[in-house]
């Protein structure tokens, strides 16, 4: 099992490399959970790409919206 920070980084890298990258629901859940954990600590340190990915995830999986940060 990957630790969530690495998961986050790897998802961001996948999307950076390939704008057509399909995010799975599992990845989306992991990403949102990790963002939630990170932003509890520090909301100022969010890279713009992370914000874009979050918006994309919200469009793909509106039902995951309950875990909004």
Q: What is the pLDDT of residue 68?
A: 52
Q: Give the chain's domain count.
A: 1
Task: Show pLDDT as tens, one digit a residue, over the chain (69 residues).
Answer: 446 677 778 888 888 898 888 889 998 888 888 888 877 766 666 778 888 888 888 888 888 866 555
**56 lies in which domain range?**
4-67
Q: What is the pLDDT of residue 50?
A: 83
Tokens representing residue 26 in the block: 């599992």
pTM: 0.61
CA distances from 8 to 2, 12, 23, 45 (A): 10, 6, 12, 14
Q: What is the pLDDT of residue 31?
A: 84
Dist CA 56 CA 46 (whole Å): 15
């Amino acid at each position: 099992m990957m630790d969530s920070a690495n998961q986050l980084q790897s998802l961001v890298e996948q999307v950076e490399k390939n704008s057509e990258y399909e995010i799975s629901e599992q990845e989306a859940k992991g990403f949102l959970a990790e963002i939630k954990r990170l932003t509890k600590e520090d909301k100022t340190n969010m890279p713009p790409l992370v914000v874009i990915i979050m918006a994309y995830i919200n469009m793909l999986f509106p039902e995951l919206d309950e875990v909004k940060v």
